[in-house]
Amino acid sequence: MSKGEALHRDWHQAAQTLSEALPYILRYAGKTVLIKYGGHAMGEDHIAQRFARDIVLIKQVGVKPIVVHGGGPQIGQMLDRLGIKSNFIDGLRVTDAKTVEVVEMVLAGSINKQIVSAINNAGGKAIGLSGKDANLIQARKLARTTRDPESNIEKVLELGFVGEPTAINPDVLHTISASDLIPVVAPIGIGEAGETYNINADTAAGAIAGAVGAMRLLMLTDVAGVLDEKGDVIPHLSRERAIAMIKSGAIAGGMIPKVETCLEALAAGVGGVVILDGRVEHAVLLELFTEHGAGTLIS
């Protein structure tokens, strides 16, 4: 095959791919898709650049993307540099007054602006927000308890300034999404007295997705999706099966809070939630614009 013939074949395949994507593009046109962006994908420049291009592309074809990001590893690195010790309880970072200042600096500062810059460099128009802006994420202190296995006595865990959303103000996001801007949200909440709360990014994403009535919530993670007993990705889960798998222990460990967040988002009115591997090239495009998707859809 000559070089010209090979190029012609590649162009034909590209055109065929675009043609096959049309029904899916039409399905999501004008609809809100919330993307929770986190994990190792955020730490690798080439993956981050691809992610930014994909977000710009879906905006250009009429989808309304909202990005909510995490930043746990980056927060840990900054705390280490500053000599501030950090502990975890049940997967949540204990956040005292000094730590919450660093959390806000890293999430609403450096990470948020890195993502905004990447999207802008890819040809989009992104704007960075935290949950404090326009009271986007109103929050309260997270109440978490644990039971001593020996005494069976329940005690309250002291997590400091770790919060949970109490209300979401979607107006600012609707206004931004209706323009040519792409909102990028850091999961920092604000309390009744103006205090700052560190909110789990998955939790924030689920709450925001429900408040804006998102058609899809894409949870980009470091795993391919929910796995069955053979280690294969389950393409689709009903609410009922997901609940049953948690109860049986088939869904365990760190996947439990992710699936629970998905179920809460569905209960809040989100059309469907997908857990997928953010390290996969063009994972967002594969999920939205192809027949088979790229992860586990819970609906």
What's the pLDDT at 3? 62
Tabulate helix, strand, coil % of the chain (nearest 5): 45, 25, 30
CA distance 138 to 207: 11
CA distance 275 to 223: 8
What's the pLDDT at 45? 80
66-80, 146-160, 179-193, 229-243 — which one is most confidently predicted on average? 179-193
58 compared with 255, residue with greater pLDDT: 58
Fold of 29-298: Carbamate kinase (3.40.1160)
Look at residue 42 and tell me whether its pLDDT is greater than 60.
Answer: yes
Q: What is the mean pLDDT of the chain?
A: 86
SS3 per residue for 135-171: HCEEEEECCEEEECCCCCCEEEECCECEEEEEEECCH
pLDDT band at residue 37 under the 50/70/90 scheme: very high
Look at residue 152 and tell me whether its pLDDT is greater than 60.
Answer: no
pLDDT band at residue 245 under the 50/70/90 scheme: confident
Domain range list for the chain: 29-298
Residue 115 CA: distances (Å) to CA of 39, 119, 158, 176 = 14, 6, 32, 17
CA distance 299 to 294: 15
130-134, 149-153, 241-245 — which one is most confidently predicted on average? 130-134
The structure's pTM equals 0.88
What is the tens place of the pLDDT at every residue in 153-196? 555 566 778 899 999 999 999 999 999 999 999 999 999 999 99
Please list, in sequence order, all residues whose beta carbon lies within 8 angstroms of the beta carbon of residue 291, skipping any fewer than 6 positions away.
20, 24
